[in-house]
Amino acid sequence: MSPLIMPMNKNIILTSIAALLLCLSCNKFEGDQTVPAFISIDKIEVANDPHNSISNYSGCFTSNIDAVQITLRNSEENHQLGVFTLPCRVPVLRQGEYTISLTPVIKLNGIAATRSSYPFYRNINIKNQTLTPDRCLELGSQTTYYDSTGFLYKVWEEYFEPEIPTLSLPDTVVQRVTSPDTVRSDRGCGAVYLKTDQSAATFISNEEFTVTDNGALFLELDYWTNVPLSVGLCSRTSLNSKYETFYAITLYPNFDKGWNKIYIQLGKLWSQYSYYKQFHIAFQAVNSNGIEGKVYIDNIKLTAYKDRDKK
C-alpha cells in the first residue's frame, strides 16, 4: 500500500514564507551599512541652455519627463541604482561623496511600458554630493537639449506664434488661435474644428523634410483633443514610387484632462518607407461620434540626429 501523503499544516506554510521573506530582506542590507541614505527628486524640467540657446519660445521646452535613471559615480565604483518614477525618494546603501548622474526618462509614444531615455536630452551630472545614512539629499534638476549645431537636428518647429506670418500646416484646415484659455504656451496654438457631419480632417506639413541619418526620429507634440488624432508620415520608398500615408500612433481624446505632451517615435514607421530621406508629417482627426470636434496642437518639434557619417 502506498504511504499516505498528509496535508501540510497552514501554520507551517505561513512560517516558512515569513522566514523566506526575512532572509530576502536581510540580503538587501548585506555589508556594514544597515541604515540607508536617501535621494529625493521632485521633477526634472527642460531649460534653455544660456550658453547655447536653441529657441526664444518657451513652448520649445515643454516636457513630460516622468521618470529618472539614477547612477552613482566616484573613484571606486559606477553604481546604477535603477529607474524610478517621479517624484521619487530612493533609499541608497552608500555613504560618502559621489557624482550623481540623472538620466531623464520619457514614455515612448505615451506608453508606460516603453519608458526610455530621450536621446536629445542631456544627462544631469551633480558633483560633490555627500550621502549620509538616515539623511535625505533633495535634488532639484533641469536638463537641456544637446547642442543644435552638433548633435541635435531640429528638422521642423511650429509654435503657432502670431509674429510668424505663415503656418507650416495648411491654413485651410489648421487655424491659429490666441485665446489665453486655449493656448498651451506663449501666445498661440493650432486648432482644427470638425462639424458634426464631418467624419475626418486630414492635414500634412506644407514642407517636405529631408533627414539623412536614420539613427532616431521623434516628433514632440503638445495636444488637447476631444476626438482621436493620428500622427504619421506621408512619403514613398523610392524616387519613382507613389506617396502613401501611414500612421504611427492614434492619440485618444484627452479634453477632460487638458494639454498633454507626447514623444512620438517615428523611426519604425520610417523604416517601412526604406528610410527614404524625404517625407511629410501627416495628421488625421477622426470624428466617428458625430460631435463638434476640437483638436488643439502646439509646440511641434521634429528631431533627428545630425548626419553622423559625415563627421
CATH number where 54 lies: 2.60.40.3540
User: Does residue 12 form part of some domain?
Assistant: no
For residues 212 and 264, membership in a common domain is answered with yes
CATH number for the domain harbouring residue 232: 2.60.120.200
- Type of residue at 170: P
Asked if 223 contacts 255 with a C-beta cutoff of 8 angstroms, the reply is: no
pLDDT tens sequence across 224-276: 999 999 999 999 999 999 999 999 999 999 999 999 999 999 999 999 999 99
Domain boundary among the residues 143, 167, 183 is at 143
pLDDT tens sequence across 86-144: 999 999 999 999 999 999 999 999 999 999 999 999 999 999 999 999 999 999 789 99
For residues 107 and 177, membership in a common domain is answered with no
Task: Say how far apart CA 16 and CA 20 lie, in whole Å.
Answer: 6
Q: What is the pTM of this model?
A: 0.86
